[in-house]
């Protein structure tokens, strides 16, 4: 006899053992809520509330539809399995292969120690299987360690047919419309209101338990994430109706007081299994087909996030683990500064705003993650493992398979698997793409002096420190040309200011 084991990030009946077409097709389900998981890290409170409330709602929905669900609240997964096998000694559990490295082996060990068997089947919550990716990669590159997202994305577009003409060419003539997606909204722009959800009992119950029993960080007052599939579908429909049109042009913008702008906010629901990426892409493309006011650059940019980047990082992570998690090619060893734990601990308006979004929501959008939170940690010289751990604990959509490649590969260039140069930047980028600098005590145009923007000296000092590695990278030749134009006294002043900034960040007085 077979029982489906439903993990907390596999809450789906669109794929895997619970999907109607699957040949295992058990009518019994086991779910285990592990307290050890909740206390293993000091997670953001909203992350735990979301995960456990979504699990309990998924259980209820299954029971309402006639499934037999055994739901164990246990100290550990192993204890949950022991209780289950004590009552059902002849059962075999079947689950989808977890996306995070080592999780499948850990589950198998826990089930086996509890006296049972676990069969792991293909993880169908993605659009590209490991076999398909590996076959594409073998045909695309001679080098096993070379990966380029843009090439993978074009292959996925051709393979799935999304946004292709009848001749198999990209719709509109270009694969990528990023040059149209770098606008900032006008001063009187009002972001569309976000959908709200009626949570029923589970969100309140879990919140109480988390508050009483688990040490967390962040606030849960603004909790607003979908915790049921119906709510996730409503959130998807709301995004397509109200925010997809402006998503493209404003996707890289940062605006004071606006944590969501026109972002979809669907990543957590997708990563938990409440939505399948295929239906999300289909809904966005269908909206584009039906509505003249939804531009191609908006839908293409959104589709690329899911069809390209999400699938790409999942597979590069799969192939490059376990080394990827410990990669540190720039030999950065500093501790994460205290401002990442308290938005009020810094006067730097942009960092305070981005950390504030994480504190209040367990979320910041991709440019805040890359160009503020990661960029500062990169140029400050943070140990990549510390930043990865912070992302993993803090973001409602962060799982190991997501945070390791995004932080290690993209955010702080600790591995060159994902990018050919670091995403380091001075204040110029933040000043161009946000209104944060207008209300900041630091001067975005100054590199030295007490009120000089911390990003500027850190940026140049980072380039100076890693000159041997980066000077001959043709994509960075222009910035070294600017550095060469400074005389030695000016360079020393930059180095001194960077040291001051690092001291202040470390002491919590930046
Ligand atoms: S001046 Fe510097 S620290 Fe202040 S908001 Fe601009 S980029 Fe951020």
CATH number at residue 23: 3.40.50.620
CA of 459 to the centre of ligand 1 (A): 13
Helices (H), 26-102: 35-40, 45-64, 77-87
Q: How many CB atoms lie within 10 A of CB 358?
A: 26
What per-residue confidence (pLDDT) applies to 4?
94
Residue nearest to atom 6 of ligand 1 (CA): 437
In a domain, 218, yes or no: no
**What is the number of the ligand 1 atom nearest to the C-alpha of 443?**
1
Protein residue whose Cα sits closest to atom 3 of ligand 1: 348
Nearest CA to ligand 1 atom 8: 350
Q: Which atom of ligand 1 is nearest to the CA of 440?
A: 4
pLDDT the model gives residue 507: 94
Whether residue 233 is contained in a domain is answered as no
The pairing of beta strand 28-34 with beta strand 92-96: unpaired
For the domain that residue 451 is a member of, what is the CATH number? 1.10.579.10
Q: Are residues 69 and 176 both part of a single domain?
A: no
Both 108 and 141 in a single domain? no
* Euclidean distance between the first and the last CA atom of the chain, given in angstroms as a whole number: 61
* 342 lies in the same domain as 462: yes
155 and 71 share a domain? no
For residue 303, the CA-to-ligand 1 centroid distance in Å is 31
Same domain, 268 and 314: yes
Domain boundary residue, one of 96, 121, 146 = 121
116 and 7 part of one domain? yes
How far, in Å, from the CA of 351 to the mean position of ligand 1? 8
User: How far is CA 304 from each of CA 170, 251, 298, 417, rounded to the nearest angstrom?
Assistant: 12, 12, 10, 19
Q: Which atom of ligand 1 is nearest to the CA of 444?
A: 1
Residues whose CB is less than 8 angstroms from the CB of residue 179 and which lie 6 or more positions away in sequence, other chains included? none
How far apart are the C-alpha atoms of 22 and 283, rounded to whole Å? 24
Q: Are 350 and 414 part of one and the same domain?
A: yes
Please check whether residue 203 lies inside any domain of the structure.
no
Q: Output the CA 46–ligand 1 centroid distance in Å.
A: 28
Segments of the chain scoring below 70 in pLDDT: 20-26
CATH number of the domain enclosing 311 = 1.25.40.80
What is residue 149's three-state secondary structure? helix
CA of 425 to the centre of ligand 1 (A): 12
CB 297 within 8 A of CB 181: yes
Which domain-ending residue is among 121, 139, 156?
121
Tokens linked to 408: 């290690």
Q: Could you tell which of 353, 426, 440 is best to mutate to test the pocket of ligand 1, judged by most ligand atoms within 8 Å of the CB?
A: 440
pLDDT at 90: 87
Phi then psi for 2, rounded to 5 degrees?
-120, 135
Burial (CB count <10 Å: 0-12, 13-18, 19+), residue 407: buried
Buried b (16+ CB within 10 A) or exposed e, 306-318: bbbbbbbbbbbbb
Give the model's pLDDT for residue 22.
Answer: 58
Q: Domain of residue 85: give its range.
A: 2-121
Strand ranges (DSSP E) for 64-122? 68-74, 92-96, 117-121
| Ligand 1 center–CA 391 separation, angstroms | 22
The b/e string for 44-66 (b: 16+ C-beta within 10 A; e otherwise) is bbbbbbbbbbbbbbbbbbbeeee
Q: 3-state secondary structure string, 275-340?
A: CCHHHHHHHHHHHHHHCCCCCHHHHHHHHHHHHHHHHHHHHHHHHHCCHHHHCCCCCCCECCCHHH
Element (H, E) at 33: strand 28-34
Specify if 328 maps to a domain.
no
Q: Determine the pLDDT at residue 149.
A: 93
Query: Which of 425, 454, 504 for mutating ligand 1's site (highest number of atoms within 8 Å of CB)?
Result: 454
> Does the residue 431 lie in any domain?
yes
Q: Are residues 146 and 278 in the same domain?
A: yes
Q: Using most ligand atoms within 8 A of CB, pick from 339, 438, 453, 459 the residue to mutate for ligand 1.
A: 453
Q: Quick check: is 197 in a domain? A: no
Query: 283 with 415, same domain?
Result: no
What lies within 8 Å, CB to CB, of 277 at 6+ separation is 125, 126, 127, 270, 306, 307, 310, 311
Contacts of the segment 85-89: beta carbons below 8 A, 24+ positions apart: 85/114, 85/115, 85/116, 88/1, 88/3, 89/115, 89/116
Give yes or no for a contact between 505 and 454, defined as CB atoms under 8 angstroms apart: yes
496 and 426 co-located in one domain:
yes
Q: How far apart are CA 487 and CA 216, in angstroms?
A: 49
Looking at the domain assignment, is residue 205 inside a domain? no
pLDDT score at 24: 52
Q: Which pLDDT score is estimated for 354?
A: 97
Residue closest by Cα to atom 1 of ligand 1: 444
Helix (H, G, I), strand (E, B) or coil at 201: coil
Q: Are 371 and 430 in contact (CB under 8 A)?
A: yes
Looking at the structure, tell me whether residues 362 and 490 fall in a common domain: yes
User: What's the pLDDT at 426?
Assistant: 96
Assess if residue 215 is contained within a domain.
Answer: no
Tens of pLDDT along 6-56?
999 999 999 999 986 655 556 789 999 999 999 999 999 999 999 999 999
Nearest residue (by CA) to ligand 1, atom 7, is 427
Supply the pLDDT for residue 27: 75
Final residue before a domain boundary, out of 121, 155, 182: 121
Q: How many CA atoms lie within 13 A of 486 on its CB side?
A: 17
Provide residues with CB under 6 Å of ligand 1. 348-350, 427, 430-431, 436-437, 440, 442, 444, 453-455
What total number of domains does the chain contain? 3
Question: Same domain, yes or no, for 451 and 367?
Answer: yes
pLDDT, position 21: 60
């Amino acid at each position: 006899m077979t029982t489906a084991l439903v993990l907390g990030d596999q809450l789906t009946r669109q794929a895997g053992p619970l999907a109607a077409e699957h040949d295992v097709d058990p009518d019994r389900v086991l779910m285990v809520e592990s307290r050890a998981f909740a206390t293993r890290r000091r997670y953001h409170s909203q992350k735990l509330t979301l995960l456990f409330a979504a699990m309990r709602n998924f259980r209820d929905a299954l029971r309402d539809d006639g499934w037999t669900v055994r739901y164990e609240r246990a100290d550990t997964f192993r204890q949950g399995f022991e209780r289950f096998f004590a009552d059902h000694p002849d059962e075999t559990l079947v689950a989808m292969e977890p996306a995070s490295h080592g999780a499948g082996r850990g589950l198998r060990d826990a089930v086996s120690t509890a006296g049972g068997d676990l069969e792991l089947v293909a993880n169908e919550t993605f659009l590209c299987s490991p076999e398909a990716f590996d076959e594409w990669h073998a045909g695309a590159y001679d080098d096993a360690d070379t990966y380029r997202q843009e090439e993978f994305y074009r292959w996925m577009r051709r393979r799935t047919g999304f946004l292709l003409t009848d001749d198999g060419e990209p719709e509109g003539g270009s694969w990528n419309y990023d040059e149209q997606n770098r606008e900032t909204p006008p001063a009187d722009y009002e972001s569309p209101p976000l959908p709200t959800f009626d949570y029923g009992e589970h969100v309140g119950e879990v919140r109480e338990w988390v508050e009483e029993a688990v040490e967390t960080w962040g606030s849960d007052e603004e909790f607003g994430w979908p915790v049921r599939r119906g709510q996730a579908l409503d959130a998807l429909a709301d995004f397509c109706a109200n925010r997809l049109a402006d998503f493209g042009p404003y996707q890289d913008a940062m605006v004071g007081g606006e944590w969501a702008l026109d972002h979809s906010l669907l990543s957590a629901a997708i990563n938990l299994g409440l939505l399948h990426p295929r239906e999300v892409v289909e809904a966005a493309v269908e909206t584009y087909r039906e509505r003249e006011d939804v531009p191609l650059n908006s839908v293409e940019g959104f589709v690329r996030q899911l069809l390209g980047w999400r699938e790409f990082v999942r597979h590069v992570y799969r192939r490059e683990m376990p080394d990827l998690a410990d990669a540190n090619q720039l030999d950065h060893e500093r501790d994460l500064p205290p401002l990442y734990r308290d938005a009020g601990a810094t006067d730097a308006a942009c960092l305070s705003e981005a950390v504030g979004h994480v504190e209040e929501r367990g979320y910041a959008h991709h440019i805040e993650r890359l160009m503020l939170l990661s960029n500062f940690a990169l140029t400050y010289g943070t140990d990549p493992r510390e930043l990865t751990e912070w992302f993993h604990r803090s973001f409602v959509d962060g799982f190991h398979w997501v945070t390791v490649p995004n932080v290690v590969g993209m955010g702080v260039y600790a591995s060159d698997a994902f990018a050919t140069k670091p995403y380091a930047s001075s204040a110029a980028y933040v000043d161009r793409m946000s209104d944060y600098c207008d209300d900041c005590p630091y001067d975005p145009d100054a590199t030295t002096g007490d009120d000089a923007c911390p990003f500027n000296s850190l940026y140049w000092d980072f380039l100076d420190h890693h000159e041997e590695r980066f000077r001959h990278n043709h994509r960075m030749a222009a910035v070294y040309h600017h550095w060469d134009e400074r005389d030695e006294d000016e360079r020393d002043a930059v180095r001194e200011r960077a040291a001051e900034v690092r001291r202040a960040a470390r002491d919590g007085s930046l």
